[in-house]
Structure 1
């Protein structure tokens, strides 16, 4: 525990949060590797998920260093870590919302061309805005030691800056609040559209809609469209609570349980995405199992097992121009 920290960070909190950082790092890495490994998974939503995973991976690394060090002053590495985590964390917010906007335009507006045209703007905004904000904060010497008031050992906005609340908003909190509102609205609209499409389809194609495989895939996609905003909010809400408690100068922000939840929430996003979109996706999970089981076997075993799993499991179409809205939703499993 750093004695000069206004908010105490205990050893058990360090251990838990460091473990969360490690899980998030490897989870983000696994998302990237599966995308590179299998060509038919390279749909645009998966590509956007990879960009999000790059942000989460960078965020996990910077938080890991910050939690390991437990800064107690405005050192050079504190400022560097604070700048990297500010950029990565803010970028993660933008990419999370970008994925929701892409799915909304593609599925609800039924326009793949319009959705694909947005990708360039996603890059400009999701990388450019966080970069500009971080450079501005660094130039004005706003990044530094924050006494773990709205962090857990790592550096963010200098708590001694007179306008630290404004910079906390600009470097993260305002984008977090926007995501809280935007994500649920977009995913609710997507779910409503898909449910209406299913209802219309069931009138004319009862055999297809009663198919166990079709029903299973639709249910899984529906559950994940529900879970995406819920998990995001559940992970991020603890840091928001501590920020609001800081504004009211409440001692409740120093509560060890709240501090631990804040640390896990800020660092676990990459792992949560991996669980949802890799481990809980039958097509990818079966391939990973086949890859692990057949490692060291002859090439014939490997090819036969992977082919069998691809035949039995749902896989997104590599030809995105033929992708239906429901298939696109499924591809984000």
Structure 2
């Protein structure tokens, strides 16, 4: 049982969060695989999405290990797991905002050259800042057992550190708060710009405005631009709520439902991105369906060919041993007749 200052992680919570980690692992892997398989889809925004998926993939793996182990003391693997999840989670925040900034510059500012020139800066910030913060936290002995007070079994900032709130902010929460503010503003501006451009285009080209494909395209774009910040906030808000409850020393942070939502929200980002940018993206969805269909048809064809060959070599109801016996009997009869 957990002590008074430790949040107990129940088996049901472990199972749910581990399933969430598995879905995020598969979703992130699918984004990366589709990018590798089809070179013509390697646009800069999708390349940035792949880097985000790498962060989400690392988060899913490290969180899964932490939820499976449910640490109760400081240990070497606790520190390693806490360091990897801290780096990956913080990097995920930066890459999520980086994609929004790129789309804003590319669409609203109408400057692909400037947007592409920001990619190097995105790499420097999204990998460099989390790495510096994580290395500093490990070197200063700030990463370790946190009693699941702001986690679900995994390790993060050491709960006994006197300046733990400061390091919780530096290793994740401050960047999470900034993402809450930045993402809705950027995507609202992008969506507004698209609507204005679409309205102006419809005024001069009414035929295009009445085409179902055009309406369908803008409908899907509107849905995505609306859901991206909403999904991010809905997934991440539970960890923020538990962090605030920790600051006010409220026992509500140990509520089982809140702990489960926190675990799902922190680990499901990769799966959510896969649904948004793979399953809800028609060209990629069509290619996946075609690949699956061709794979299934080729397998069925191979099985049918193998079955057809077997039907020629065996009579109905005759097994291989019977066939060998029949062949030997036929051979001996032939010799007797000769």
Shared fold (TM-score, shorter chain, > 0.5)? yes
User: Which residue does the alignment assign to 2:47?
Assistant: 47
Asked if 2 retains the 8 angstrom alpha-carbon contact of 1:91 and 1:127, the reply is: yes
1:260-279 → structure 2 map (5 Å cutoff): 260-279=260-279
User: Which residue does the alignment assign to 1:330?
Assistant: none
Residue 7 of structure 2 aligns to a residue whose secondary structure is: coil
Deviation (angstroms), 1:108 = 0.5
Asked if 2 retains the 8 angstrom alpha-carbon contact of 1:4 and 1:72, the reply is: no
- Determine the C-alpha separation between the residues in 2 that align with 1:7 and 1:280: 38
Higher-Rg member (1/2):
2
Alignment deviations for residues 15-59 of structure 1 (CA, whole Å, 9 cap, x no partner): 000000000001000000011111221000000000000000000
Asked if 2 retains the 8 angstrom alpha-carbon contact of 1:98 and 1:122, the reply is: yes
- Determine the C-alpha separation between the residues in 1 that align with 2:296 and 2:290: 12
Asked if 2 retains the 8 angstrom alpha-carbon contact of 1:28 and 1:57, the reply is: yes
User: Which residue does the alignment assign to 1:113?
Assistant: 113
- Determine the C-alpha separation between the residues in 1 that align with 2:132 and 2:39: 34
TM-score of the superposition, structure 2-length normalised? 0.87
User: Which residue does the alignment assign to 1:96?
Assistant: 96
Alignment deviations for residues 281-330 of structure 1 (CA, whole Å, 9 cap, x no partner): 1211111111111115459x9xxxxxxxxxxxxxxxxxxxxxxxxxxxxx
User: Which residue does the alignment assign to 1:145?
Assistant: 145
Change (3 A) 1:174 1:282: same
User: Which residue does the alignment assign to 2:163?
Assistant: 163
User: Which residue does the alignment assign to 1:244?
Assistant: 244
Residue 137 of structure 2 aligns to a residue whose secondary structure is: helix
User: Which residue does the alignment assign to 2:60?
Assistant: 60
User: Which residue does the alignment assign to 1:228?
Assistant: 228
Asked if 2 retains the 8 angstrom alpha-carbon contact of 1:144 and 1:158, the reply is: yes
Asked if 2 retains the 8 angstrom alpha-carbon contact of 1:2 and 1:70, the reply is: no
Asked if 2 retains the 8 angstrom alpha-carbon contact of 1:95 and 1:122, the reply is: yes
User: Which residue does the alignment assign to 1:310?
Assistant: none
1:1-333 → structure 2 map (5 Å cutoff): 6-295=6-295, 297=297
Residue 8 of structure 1 aligns to a residue whose secondary structure is: coil
- Determine the C-alpha separation between the residues in 2 that align with 1:5 and 1:52: 35
- Determine the C-alpha separation between the residues in 2 that align with 1:277 and 1:195: 21
- Determine the C-alpha separation between the residues in 1 that align with 2:146 and 2:5: 9
Asked if 2 retains the 8 angstrom alpha-carbon contact of 1:83 and 1:143, the reply is: yes
- Determine the C-alpha separation between the residues in 1 that align with 2:259 and 2:298: 50
Q: Which has the higher contact order (CA 8 A, sep 6+)?
A: 1
- Segments of structure 1 that go 5 or more residues without pairing to the other structure are 302-333
- Determine the C-alpha separation between the residues in 2 that align with 1:187 and 1:260: 29
